Structure 1
């Protein structure tokens, strides 16, 4: 059963401009927000301009919440829940759009800076599933925060401005790579070889002799002068190494976007915007839940496995004067969720990894994965037939272009999302999102029309689920 290409909906210049304009807004967001903290800062600013109030402020002032109110809560600067409160009791559940805002990358180790052969380097530990060989010989930037012993937070963003230097990882020249070329792909570049080159000017004493580790010392001097950073400050830092440069329009027709971090910001952005675009009063409360740590198992205080969402929902009940433990449990059970995560787009260059009848295709709209997992659906949430039928009806009611898919051939590999964690609460949940080419590569590709259909699909879900 072949699905219609979504571009066929946009034959008028006016409608086509809507798709392209939303794609351009997203492209700017993707270029600006390359870490979880940057995403949350962006979303908080947008939410406050749209009239959302901070839940912490509401708790402090004991503000009574009611239908029509708009609230957001942030967890440790890397996780966020945004609510449009409906007229029904929270006990009846929420309509949730859940997406993650972390992406595969490299993190600086806590003792990263060293010198070898007159080259200063930063040691890294890769984060999430990557093909390590893809990260060499490309321009890289440093994003993140460094917290000094005083508690002062120093923001780091080097490599994005045209006047900034960029960084990178060297590769072995082809002339000497006979042994390297015989290795399996997983071993062509080893994890411990992902070392970032950051400088090469040594220092000399008065006699003109090179001082010991003088390149490293010179880098530390520059860091102190520019950022007031000392070597020990790296111990309490979160510095992410990401591809430098803006996301770009892709293709002669500008129908696609090439950029870092589509997985899963291409779902997080329309999930958030769907709430902001919903202006009419809702019956059921709607929530955009934007989480961290999905790429490494949704663990930790800012991952989906934390108690943040459960605790936040309890606070909402309390401010609405309706809290009880039983009502909280009923609310969690009665939630309906789109676990908004990307799907692998069929790639004609690697067709053997896919099964054509059950693959996602660029340009055919929002993707629904009844299940993900690996091999025999291991690690998967498997949505019920009843819930799939309900979601189908919602999408068709608003004429959203959508398709269904699996993640490649059955025994070829696999992957997971936050869906199974939300399913553990007995919620109704299905994976939905945007198809991506070159997923988990430093630069991924999406279709602008799929992004726009995701927005329309998420808006329809909020209205009708």
Structure 2
């Protein structure tokens, strides 16, 4: 059964028209990945695209005293890091929504609040890694600096260094192999320690012979260009991410290699599916959130009340402002938790159950449950809901597969599905299979990107 599944080809079933749409979608996705590497950048791009598609700022409408009516398309932003969009349907909101929910944060190296130091004639930035990473993968790699620095006056300075070909890049150094006998005896988790993931940023002294003159030289360059003092980094959000553009992968260009595809592959396709919806019977919603990689915590994560508060505001603007209306709306909603799944990798075959794993290039992936080992922390969708979803996908000719993350006792993972299920709504995880998940560069198939986009569109109009 597993062998047959692995041999099936979707490519051969596509028409020339399918291939044209697939390549256009992939080109837009690659461009998105290349330009949007942080949650702030992704949220800003989502707003730009939404406004072009006719969406309006919900809170601006509320300030102007406007009502929200069926046919309206609105959005709301939370602290520039999370976005939610609604296409208001003809049915009362209390009957529920069809929700696509993805996250736009990714694994990275965050700059600490007091980061600058000099040692051995080299200047460094101290970092704290974000999300679940293999630390040894982040050494000897060109890195770009993205983020914002906020001065006490409130002025926000945006930083992006390392993406333009003329920009310098940064890196974490590695120990030369000639001196690595002791290092290579360590377990993988200890080969590179978290406190060793510091970024090399300079070697040119401002004045010869002075203490910490290399650090002083770097700080002078920063002040001259950005007007930022060293103490301003105390109120900064800066991240180091792999430098460079997303690329097509393989001789046949059938795949995408890029940083941050978990979960931008699902957030981008969810957003595109949402923006292409027309007049709706049932309200459609696209939710793009922050902090999933660290447990969905904080004011911009899914565990915050942001989404619930926006739904309350939306209902109030439609003349249905009671707490009961909010509860009914959420409980009657249906959701695809749009997140990635592990894809079968023949080089690490022993980690997968071949009968229950996603295969790259075989279509959209559904995970009935995630969690770890004994399904700990899992949503575990109802069979009735999964049956309904299967029917929708088959009706719209969406190729899909059912999968788990890997062998039962090897670990696991989670998404925002379990949080949304707390409202009593039907939720299932769905997305794209990924190779090298959480590595600085991840791989996906154009086929899966195309099929998941089709699947998200089908869900919004049919569920």
Give the TM-score of the pair, scaled to structure 2: 0.98
Match of 1:130 in 2: 133
Instruction: Return the alpha-carbon distance in structure 2 between the equivalents of residues 13 and 426 of structure 1.
Output: 43
CA contact (8 A) 1:408 1:414 kept: yes
Instruction: Return the alpha-carbon distance in structure 2 between the equivalents of residues 313 and 5 of structure 1.
Output: 42
Instruction: Return the alpha-carbon distance in structure 1 between the equivalents of residues 234 and 332 of structure 2.
Output: 43
Q: 1:436 aligns with which of 434, 437, 450?
A: 434
Match of 2:175 in 1: 172
Q: After superposition, give the CA deviation of every residue in 1:140-181 in whole Å (9 maximum; x if it has no partner).
A: 000000100100000000000011000001100000000001
Q: How much has 1:13 moved relative to structure 2?
A: 2.5
Match of 1:247 in 2: 246
1:289 aligns with 2:287: yes
Match of 2:421 in 1: 423
SS in 2 for 1:201: coil
Match of 1:213 in 2: 212
Q: After superposition, give the CA deviation of every residue in 1:259-302 in whole Å (9 maximum; x if it has no partner).
A: 000000000001011011112x1111000000000000000000
Instruction: Return the alpha-carbon distance in structure 2 between the equivalents of residues 210 and 41 of structure 1.
Output: 45
1:230 aligns with 2:229: yes
- Alignment length, in residue pairs? 459
SS in 1 for 2:182: helix
Match of 2:196 in 1: 193
Q: How much has 1:256 moved relative to structure 2?
A: 0.3
Q: How much has 1:203 moved relative to structure 2?
A: 2.7
CA contact (8 A) 1:5 1:365 kept: no
Instruction: Return the alpha-carbon distance in structure 2 between the equivalents of residues 53 and 202 of structure 1.
Output: 51
Match of 1:376 in 2: 374
1:42 aligns with 2:45: yes
Q: How much has 1:316 moved relative to structure 2?
A: 0.6
1:88 aligns with 2:87: no
1:183 aligns with 2:186: yes
CA contact (8 A) 1:76 1:302 kept: yes
Q: 2:153 aligns with which of 141, 147, 150?
A: 150
Match of 1:256 in 2: 255
Match of 2:124 in 1: 121
SS in 1 for 2:118: strand
Q: After superposition, give the CA deviation of every residue in 1:316-361 in whole Å (9 maximum; x if it has no partner).
A: 1111112211111111101100000000000000000000000000
CA contact (8 A) 1:246 1:259 kept: yes
Instruction: Return the alpha-carbon distance in structure 1 between the equivalents of residues 178 and 131 of structure 2.
Output: 32
Q: How much has 1:21 moved relative to structure 2?
A: 1.1
Q: How much has 1:56 moved relative to structure 2?
A: 1.2
Instruction: Return the alpha-carbon distance in structure 1 between the equivalents of residues 237 and 13 of structure 2.
Output: 44
Instruction: Return the alpha-carbon distance in structure 2 between the equivalents of residues 47 and 375 of structure 1.
Output: 40
RMSD: 0.8
Q: 2:298 aligns with which of 300, 304, 308?
A: 300
SS in 1 for 2:49: helix
Instruction: Tell me whether 317-326 or 374-383 shows the greater mean CA deviation.
Output: 317-326
CA contact (8 A) 1:6 1:450 kept: no
Match of 2:111 in 1: 108
In the alignment, structure 1 segments of 5+ residues that lack a partner are: none
1:54 aligns with 2:57: yes
Match of 1:8 in 2: 12
Q: 2:401 aligns with which of 395, 400, 403?
A: 403
Instruction: Return the alpha-carbon distance in structure 1 between the equivalents of residues 130 and 34 of structure 2.
Output: 20
Instruction: Return the alpha-carbon distance in structure 2 between the equivalents of residues 256 and 356 of structure 1.
Output: 21
Match of 2:362 in 1: 364
SS in 2 for 1:300: coil
In the alignment, structure 2 segments of 5+ residues that lack a partner are: none
Instruction: Tell me whether 209-218 or 31-40 shows the greater mean CA deviation.
Output: 209-218
Q: How much has 1:428 moved relative to structure 2?
A: 0.3
Q: After superposition, give the CA deviation of every residue in 1:301-323 in whole Å (9 maximum; x if it has no partner).
A: 00000000000001111111122
Instruction: Return the alpha-carbon distance in structure 2 between the equivalents of residues 290 and 435 of structure 1.
Output: 19
Instruction: Return the alpha-carbon distance in structure 2 between the equivalents of residues 9 and 224 of structure 1.
Output: 57
1:447 aligns with 2:451: no
Give the TM-score of the pair, scaled to structure 1: 0.98
Q: 2:336 aligns with which of 331, 335, 338?
A: 338
Match of 1:314 in 2: 312
